[in-house]
Structure formats: structure tokens, C-alpha cells
Amino acid sequence: MRIPFITQDEEKEDRRKTSKTENGSPEFQVVDKRQFLDLDSLDKEKVEEKPRYPAFVEELMARTAETERKFEEKKKQIDEEIARTRSRLETDYERRLELEKQKIIMPFLEVMDNLQRAIEATPQTGSVESLLEGVRMTAEQFRANLQSIGVEAIETLGKPFDPNSAQAVGRVQVKDPDHDGTVVEEIRTGYSMNGQLLRPAQVRVGHHE
């Protein structure tokens, strides 16, 4: 791109060189002495752009941007480490839970084995008493296994009714006034585990008029 331009001195020189015609009228001659500026030849890379902000402000902005970049990188690393730690803890918890389940279940498999032996031995002996004895022994073993994990039966029979550990499902007329409000029949045994109520007992309570 070329842009013409002419100075004031050149314009005056053109006026002095103006000649007259034969009839005395001046004759104007136009001399094009314009110089053209080739903008395309300018090296655009050499044109210095004025800074938008003072130097100290730009330096401060650059430091701020660098600090933000480092912060984001550190935050990303911390988030990744937290995710790995959470995944590792969840995996460890699930593995320990499975091991605890196995510890609880294994003793009851022995109870199942004893019940199976008692059932298989009944046709050979032909005795109901032997079957009953085998079931009784298995029940004792089952109870012992429950106690090993903190499960115990709640004793309610012959004791005053306690709504915190038992549920009354009926009342029974009693002659002895001392038995009024006392558990006289246990329908279902209640259990506690490590001191916490696991399930309430179902009982019938004596009533004296």
C-alpha cells in the first residue's frame, strides 16, 4: 500500500514555476512531486506496541498468573492423592469386613455339620432320643458360638416386666399377688449384643386382681 504526501515547501516551489501564456494569462502546470510511503515495506515486527500497563503492574500480573498456575497444579495433585487414599481405605475396609464375616460364619458351619450328622444318624439308630440328644448338643454349641461374638439371651422369666428389654403380648391371671407384673411365660427369647438390645423378648405378664 502506497500513500502520497507533499510538503508545504514543495507546494510553494510549484507556484513560483507557474508560467504565463501568450495572452498574458497565467498558465498553471501541475508537477506531481508527491512522495509515496510504502506501508507494506515496513517491518511490522519492529513496531513497538505500547504496554497496556506500567512495567511493575505487568510484572505483578505475571507473578500472580504464575502463582495461580502453581496453585492449580498443587490442588490437582492433592485431589488425586485424596482420591487414591479414599480408594485404598475403601478397599482395606471391604477386605477387613469380609474377614470379619468369615470369622463370624465359620463357627456356625460347625453347628450345621452337627445338625447334618444328627439327621444322618437317626435312620441308623432308629431312636428319637438320640436325635433329640444330638439336637440339644447342637443347640448348646450354637449358643456358645453366639456368646463368643457377644450375643447373649435376656433372662426375663420370673422377673419383673421390663419394657426396655421385653414386649408384652398377653396377660395371665395369677393368684399370688407377688407375681403381679412379673413375667410368667416367655414366648420368644430376647437377645442383646455387647450390652445393646438386639431384639426384645416376647412374654406374658402376670396379673392379680
Q: What CATH number is attached to the domain comprising 166? A: 2.30.22.10
Closest CA to 145 of 194, 106, 98, 116: 106
Asked, for residue 10, whether it belongs to a domain, the answer is yes
- Domain span at residue 9 reads 1-48
Asked, for residue 117, whether it belongs to a domain, the answer is no
Which parts of the chain fold into alpha helices (H)? 8-16, 55-125, 128-148
Element (DSSP H or E) covering residue 4: strand 2-5
The model's pLDDT over 111-126, given as tens digits with 9 standing for 90+, comes to 888 888 877 777 776 6
Asked, for residue 178, whether it belongs to a domain, the answer is yes
Grid look-up 456368646 returns: 147
Mean per-residue pLDDT of the chain: 79
Residues 6+ apart with CB under 8 A from 148: 107
Grid look-up 487414599 returns: 85
The model's pLDDT over 49-107, given as tens digits with 9 standing for 90+, comes to 555 667 878 888 888 999 999 999 999 999 999 999 999 999 999 999 998 888 888 88
Q: Per-residue pLDDT averaged across 155-164, rounded?
A: 93
Give the count of domains, the chain: 2
Percent residues over pLDDT 70 in the chain? 74
Asked, for residue 168, whether it belongs to a domain, the answer is yes
Asked, for residue 93, whether it belongs to a domain, the answer is no
Asked, for residue 99, whether it belongs to a domain, the answer is no
Asked, for residue 115, whether it belongs to a domain, the answer is no
Asked, for residue 182, whether it belongs to a domain, the answer is yes
Other beta carbons within 10 Å of 205: 21
